[in-house]
Amino acid sequence: MIIEIGHFALVLALVLALAQAILPLVGAQRGIRSWMLLAKPAAIGQFAFLLVAFLALVHAFVVSDFSVVIVYLNSHSSMPLLYKISGTWGNHEGSLLLWVTILAFFGALVAVFGENLPPRLKARTLSVQAMISIAFILFTLFTSNPFARISPAPFEGEELNPLLQDPGLAFHPPMLYIGYVGFSIAFSFAVAALIEGKVDAAWARWVRPWTLLSWTSLTGGIALGAHWAYYELGWGGWWFWDPVENASFMPWLMGTALLHSAIVVEKRDALKAWTLLLAILTFGCSLLGTFLVRSGVITSVHAFAQDPERGVFILAILGVALGGALTLFAWRAPVLKPGGMFAPVSREAALMLNNLFITTLTFVVLLGTLLPLIFDVLGLQDISVGPPYYKWTFIPISLPLILLAAVGPLLGWKRGDLSGALQRLWGAGILGVAGIVVAAWIDFGSEVMAALGIGVGLWLLAGTFVEWAERVRLFRTEFTESWRRMRHLPRAAYGMTLAHAGLAIAIIGMTASAAWKEEVVRQMRPGETIEIGGFTYRLEEVRGVRGPNYIAEQADFTVLKDGEFYTRLYPERRQYMVQPMPTTEAAIESHFFGDLYAVIGESDGAGAWTVRIYEEPLVPWIWTGAIVMVLGGFVSMSDRRYRVGAPSRQPAAQPAKA
Amino acid sequence: MHRLFFILPLVVVLVLVAVFWRGLDPARNPASISSALVGKPVPPFVLPGLTPEMPGLGDADLRGQVTVLNFFASWCAPCRAEHPLLKELAAVPEIRLVGITYKDRLADSLRFLAELGDPFAAIGADETGRIGIDFGLTGVPETFVIDRDGIVRYRLAQPIDEARLADEILPLIAELTR
């Protein structure tokens, strides 16, 4: 019964979305106020119905109602509660329902918190948002109905894929979707602005918190995914340039560009058409990611619902959404009033350069992801694109971008003083060069790129600190004065400092781990030892252990450093009972300079096990960097100018609140 | 000229959509791309049989006549689903159908065959999945068609279905055995 209520609620949400897509839009065009005002209750109601639908599905998973097809295929009564719940989105249909629910959630947020938006802009934005909803609800209902039943109901389910039974992965999809889907708000705002033919500082200020929220969430989601791959797959790697990973990385890159260009619109009223285009393309990348992952158009290690029929549907959504928005762009964007002028050396120019670099990087990733498909469609030979491609394209293009990230914030608006900025960065420069020299000395000649990566990472870290120190006049004036400045510095400034510092830390970690990882694979008997990275691993024993729904072989390693006891590691090799698919649980112990990483493989049946031990230099820095970036996002979101509300469109007509 | 820049994004997206449209063409099999093995000789291997009495399988057995090689496991539901079609294949006189069990316990494989019938002329047991790696397996079931010279001609990285059997596998066998 509850399932039918959920199904029905989904249909009702569709009806409300239809009303929300048409009436406020027409109302805004014709100036009918009551129609425009319909957007708010419709958006909230649509979200409420979708929430009911989603919770009905969660309920089916929690109570193990195997008469529902996807519960039968993805759950088992012996699974822990957390994985029963996360099983809801551990499959195509359920995750799609989560997708639309989050979409409607964002619409409802705009409806509730957008009180200070001009009514026309708000009505149009919510209408566009509803159009996206309609497309995805239809997609859910017609090709991927999560509420489908089977009769007679099986007694037991087939269990969630064991690889997905993991706390990190339970939260990875929701965070990722908040990121993906959140960009729809920027898209809707952009389309609404194109219909109005007007973009100004106020528009940028409304768009920015939504973009920030999405970006922050996407950063966290990608990091969680990478972390999951790192410890669960047992390959000791965290990023494989797999199409599905790229699918989440492209919106992140474009979202990063959008965050930066929106600043220029907000502060200087320039780059308007470009920012609109970015807002459209960022969500376009989200849609593209959805398409790549769910259509089966590209083979990937973890593409999950390979069904060309669904692919056609998503492709149609992608074509209509992007084609429509870009047609509107081609028609309306040229009439936008050009904004403020700026010199070739200025904060604006630096941000523009940042955008050029980031869009180029996105294009490089897009090309790497699609080349195999393009070759195949054109009937040329099959090719595969791997890490070397990215090493020689992505990395060299991103190096100058990182260099720029330290300089840009030190340049003034309109006209900047490049030599002055560089002078203030002398310390960062020395540190960067020292980093390159030391890195090259540690590992002479073999990895030029690694030395450069460490160098620019240190440069950005130090440069970011310098910029902050400049702002608070640290050591240049009395400390009480610096302290006062520290407290009064806008949160947005701290957000940038944290995000840039986090990026720098992550870059150093990624570079070191990519370049200097070491690996030993060997057959090992209890009592034998392996030496790697200055540590000695002794296999004490391998024993059988039991979990709630799996049995496992657990190895017991004693790790020694310089002959002294350091730690113990317990990697496992699990065999889940329902899906007899072995999964590895790596044992990881972090210290400041890296991770100890041990994996136990198969037994040879004669008392020896395949054992893999990795020395993972600076990997914890990657996760630390990601956390600092996410923190920066939240700090920036809490900036006063978003809390006191957006400025009026006619600042003269109203007294400033601040 | 200036306006052209504003139209450019639209053009690029339309071209991309067209490429994807072609990519989704059902006649194009996404499971068959990136199969680096097609056109190359089968990797060398020797596997024991399921019991000491049953014949094992090695790469030497794959030469001399057209062979269909099927990777399967008792724990894999799609393998169960495609099993009737394997029996149809086994009835084709010009070819030899052989199997490799993938990461499966010997007793379980035997029970699987006892239950559903054994269409294979010979079966190798790849308990550790080692040979699966050489074949670039992405999962089970997978099916390979190998010509008389031991060259892999076709790979299907998903269960056999009626359409693929009739439109792809049987015509290829007819061509190879001609």
Q: What is the pLDDT of residues A509-518, one digit of tens each?
A: 999 888 888 8
What sign for the dihedral angle of Cα B125, B128, B130, B133? positive
User: Using 50, 70 and 90 to split pLDDT, how confident is the model at A107?
Assistant: very high
Contacts of B27 in chain A (CB under 8 A): none
Instruction: Report yes or no: B101 at the A interface, CB cutoff 8 Å.
Output: no
Residues counted in chain A: 658
Selection from A359, A392, A387, A395 nearest residue A285 by Cα: A359
Task: Give B90→chain A minimum CA distance, Å.
Answer: 28
Q: How high does pLDDT run on average in chain A? A: 87
Spatial contact of A498 and A629, defined as CB atoms under 8 Å apart: yes
Contacts of B26 in chain A (CB under 8 A): 308
Q: Which pLDDT value is given to residue B27?
A: 54
Lowest mean pLDDT among A54-68, A474-488, A552-566, A642-656: A642-656
Question: Could you report the predicted ipTM of this complex, rounded to two decimals?
Answer: 0.79
Per-residue pLDDT of A271-289, as tens digits, reads 888 999 999 999 999 999 8
Residue A653, pLDDT > 50, answer no
Selection from A463, A448, A470, A346 nearest residue A403 by Cα: A463
Structure tokens at A639: 């900036």
User: Using 50, 70 and 90 to split pLDDT, how confident is the model at A306?
Assistant: low
Residue B76, pLDDT > 80, answer no
Residue A503, pLDDT > 70, answer yes
Q: Which residue of chain B is at minimal alpha-carbon distance from A277?
A: B9
Q: Which residues of A409-437 are buried (b: 16+ CB within 10 A; e: fewer)?
A: bbbebeebeeeebeebbeebbebbeebbe
User: Using 50, 70 and 90 to split pLDDT, how confident is the model at A496?
Assistant: very high
Task: Give B92→chain A minimum CA distance, Å.
Answer: 31
Helix (H) or strand (E) holding A163, with range, is: none
Q: Which pLDDT value is given to residue A343?
A: 80
Place of tokens 């395949």: A610
| Beta carbons within 10 angstroms of residue A538's beta carbon | 15
Residue A379, pLDDT > 80, answer no
- Please give the Cα distance from A424 to A439 (Å, whole number): 24
Q: What percent of chain A is modeled with pLDDT above 90?
A: 43
- Please give the Cα distance from A74 to A559 (Å, whole number): 39
Secondary structure of residue A543 in the 3-state scheme = strand
What DSSP assignment string belongs to A427-448?
A: HHHHHHHHHHHHHHHHTTTT-H
What DSSP assignment string belongs to chain B?
A: -HHHHHHHHHHHHHHHHHHHHHHT-TTS-GGGTT-TTTTSBPPP-EE--SSSSS--EEGGGGSSS-EEEEEE-TT-HHHHHHHHHHHHHHT-TTSEEEEEEES--HHHHHHHHHHH----SEEEEETTSHHHHHTT--SS-EEEEE-TTSBEEEEESS---HHHIIIIIHHHHHHHH-
Measured at the CA of A582, the angle between CA A580 and CA A588, to 5 degrees, comes to 150
Question: Which of B2, B20, B161 has the most A C-beta neighbours within 10 Å, making it the best mutation to test the interface with A?
Answer: B20
Question: Which of B4, B24, B109 has the most A C-beta neighbours within 10 Å, making it the best mutation to test the interface with A?
Answer: B24
Q: Which pLDDT value is given to residue A311?
A: 80
Instruction: Report yes or no: B139 at the A interface, CB cutoff 8 Å.
Output: no
Q: What percent of chain B is modeled with pLDDT above 90?
A: 16
Calculate Rg over the CA atoms of chain B.
20
Of B3, B17, B23, nearest to A377 by CB-CB distance is: B23
A:313-372 residues touching chain B, CB 8 A cutoff? 315, 318-319, 322-323, 326-327, 329-330, 333-334, 370, 372
Q: Which pLDDT value is given to residue A445?
A: 60
Instruction: Report yes or no: A571 at the B interface, CB cutoff 8 Å.
Output: no
The mean pLDDT of B153-178, rounded to a whole number, is: 86
A:602-631 residues touching chain B, CB 8 A cutoff? 602
Q: What is the DSSP letter of A376?
A: H
Per-residue pLDDT of A191-233, as tens digits, reads 999 998 888 888 888 888 899 999 999 999 999 989 988 887 7
Q: Could you tell me the fold of the domain covering A518-620?
A: Tick-borne Encephalitis virus Glycoprotein; domain 1 (2.60.98)
Q: What percent of chain B is modeled with pLDDT above 70?
A: 93
Distance (Å) of CA A29 to CA A36, A122, A127, A553: 9, 12, 12, 67
Spatial contact of A523 and A653, defined as CB atoms under 8 Å apart: no
Q: Which pLDDT value is given to residue A233?
A: 74
Q: Which pLDDT value is given to residue A328?
A: 93
Q: Provide the residue ranges of all domains of chain A, joining segments of one domain with +.
A: 518-620
User: Using 50, 70 and 90 to split pLDDT, how confident is the model at B116?
Assistant: confident
Of A306, A323, A372, nearest to B33 by CB-CB distance is: A372
List the beta bridge partners of residue B58.
B46
Select the more confidently predicted residue: A377 or A370.
A370
User: Using 50, 70 and 90 to split pLDDT, how confident is the model at B26?
Assistant: low
End-to-end CA distance of chain B: 61
Q: Which pLDDT value is given to residue A584?
A: 82
Contacts of B81 in chain A (CB under 8 A): none
User: Using 50, 70 and 90 to split pLDDT, how confident is the model at A163?
Assistant: confident
The mean pLDDT of A328-353, rounded to a whole number, is: 85
Lowest mean pLDDT among A392-406, A567-581, B14-28: B14-28
Instruction: Report yes or no: A298 at the B interface, CB cutoff 8 Å.
Output: yes
Residues 6+ apart with CB under 8 A from B171: none
Lowest mean pLDDT among A14-23, A115-124, A442-451, B68-77: A442-451
List the beta bridge partners of residue B41.
B151
Task: Give B112→chain A minimum CA distance, Å.
Answer: 15
What sign for the dihedral angle of Cα B112, A154, A98, A89? negative
- Please give the Cα distance from A61 to A71 (Å, whole number): 6
Choose from A210-219, A585-594, B19-28 the range with maximum mean pLDDT: A210-219
Instruction: Report yes or no: B143 at the A interface, CB cutoff 8 Å.
Output: no
Secondary structure of residue A411 in the 3-state scheme = coil
Q: Which pLDDT value is given to residue A297?
A: 66
Q: Which pLDDT value is given to residue A603?
A: 79
Q: Which pLDDT value is given to residue A547?
A: 83
The mean pLDDT of A380-396, rounded to a whole number, is: 80
Residue A648, pLDDT > 50, answer no
Spatial contact of A81 and A9, defined as CB atoms under 8 Å apart: no
CATH 3.40.640.10 fits B35-177, yes or no: no
User: Using 50, 70 and 90 to split pLDDT, how confident is the model at A307?
Assistant: low
Q: Which pLDDT value is given to residue A627?
A: 96
Q: In what order do the strands lie in the sheet with A594-603?
A: A518-524, A609-617, A594-603, A587-591
Q: Which pLDDT value is given to residue A305?
A: 47
Q: Note whether B31 contacts A299, CB cutoff 8 Å.
A: yes
Burial tier of A2 (Cβ tally within 10 Å: 0-12, 13-18, 19+): middle
Instruction: Report yes or no: B9 at the A interface, CB cutoff 8 Å.
Output: yes
Q: Which residue of chain B is at minimal alpha-carbon distance from A384?
A: B34
The mean pLDDT of A438-443, rounded to a whole number, is: 80
Task: Give A242→chain B minimum CA distance, Å.
Answer: 14
Selection from A25, A155, A140 nearest residue A91 by Cα: A140
Q: Note whether B9 contacts A329, CB cutoff 8 Å.
A: yes
Residues 6+ apart with CB under 8 A from A131: A21, A321
Task: Give A9→chain B minimum CA distance, Å.
Answer: 32
Burial tier of A524 (Cβ tally within 10 Å: 0-12, 13-18, 19+): buried
Q: Provide the residue ranges of all domains of chain B, joining segments of one domain with +.
A: 35-177
Q: Which pLDDT value is given to residue A21?
A: 95
Structure tokens at A579: 């899906």
Instruction: Report yes or no: A545 at the B interface, CB cutoff 8 Å.
Output: no
The mean pLDDT of A470-474, rounded to a whole number, is: 83
B:44-73 residues touching chain A, CB 8 A cutoff? none
Residue A18, pLDDT > 60, answer yes
Task: Give A281→chain B minimum CA distance, Å.
Answer: 9
Task: Give A247→chain B minimum CA distance, Å.
Answer: 15
Residues counted in chain B: 178
Per-residue pLDDT of A529-587, as tens digits, reads 998 888 999 999 999 898 888 888 899 999 999 888 999 999 998 888 776 667 888 89
β-strand pairing of A535-546 with A550-561: antiparallel
Residue A20, pLDDT > 50, answer yes
Select the more confidently predicted residue: B164 or A259.
A259
Per-residue pLDDT of A118-142, as tens digits, reads 899 999 999 999 999 999 999 999 9
Residue B33, pLDDT > 50, answer no
Spatial contact of A236 and A519, defined as CB atoms under 8 Å apart: yes
Residue B28, pLDDT > 60, answer no
Residue B61, pLDDT > 50, answer yes
List the beta bridge partners of residue B143.
B70, B156
Question: Which of A376, A551, A576, A602 has the most B C-beta neighbours within 10 Å, making it the best mutation to test the interface with B?
Answer: A376
